[in-house]
Amino acid sequence: MATRWLFKTEPSVYSYQQLVKDKQTMWDGVANNLALKNVKDIQKGDQIFIYHTGDEKAAVGVAKALGGAYPNPEEDDSKLLVVDIEAVRALPKPVTLAAVKAHAKLKNFDLVRNSRLSIMKVTDEQWEIMEGMAKGK
């Protein structure tokens, strides 16, 4: 079974809308050790929520991994991993951090517990809840 993820991005740097326009991208800029450990676990076909930080603080779209992690070809440090992703679909409605924090079943989600982490695993239950929230349920 594929793993599911949440990738954070500052929309003024790289937004989900830009990913849709580009169709696919090399996701880079991950330097935190725990986030890099997570990148290492990403496999082809894994689903990804794209989450806008900054003023938005909301999951806005879904992407998928086109392959596993590999060293960033633009860096000299082989520990700095990247992954190629492609846009799948925008969420019908953004899922805000406030809505996630207000949902009792999401209190243990890393988005709430470890808010500085830029790449995190999403359990199947968390994914289903957020998909439902995006549909206004």
- Please state whether the predicted TM-score (pTM) of the whole model is above 0.85: yes
Report pLDDT for 1.
Answer: 63
* Cβ atoms of 83 and 69 closer than 8 Å: yes
Superfamily in which the 4-126 domain is placed by CATH: ph1033 like domains (3.10.590.10)
Cα 102 from Cα 116, distance rounded (Å): 19
Q: Helical H runs in the chain?
A: 16-22, 33-40, 97-102, 110-113, 124-134
Written as tens digits, the pLDDT of the chain (137 aa) is: 689 999 999 999 999 999 999 999 999 999 899 999 999 999 999 999 999 999 999 999 999 999 999 999 999 998 999 999 999 999 999 999 999 999 999 999 999 999 889 999 999 999 999 999 999 97
Q: Would you list the domain boundaries of the chain?
A: 4-126
Question: Of 42, 52, 39, nearest to 8 (Cα)?
Answer: 52
For residue 23, the 8-state DSSP code is S
Angle at 30 between CA 129 and CA 39, to 5 degrees: 60
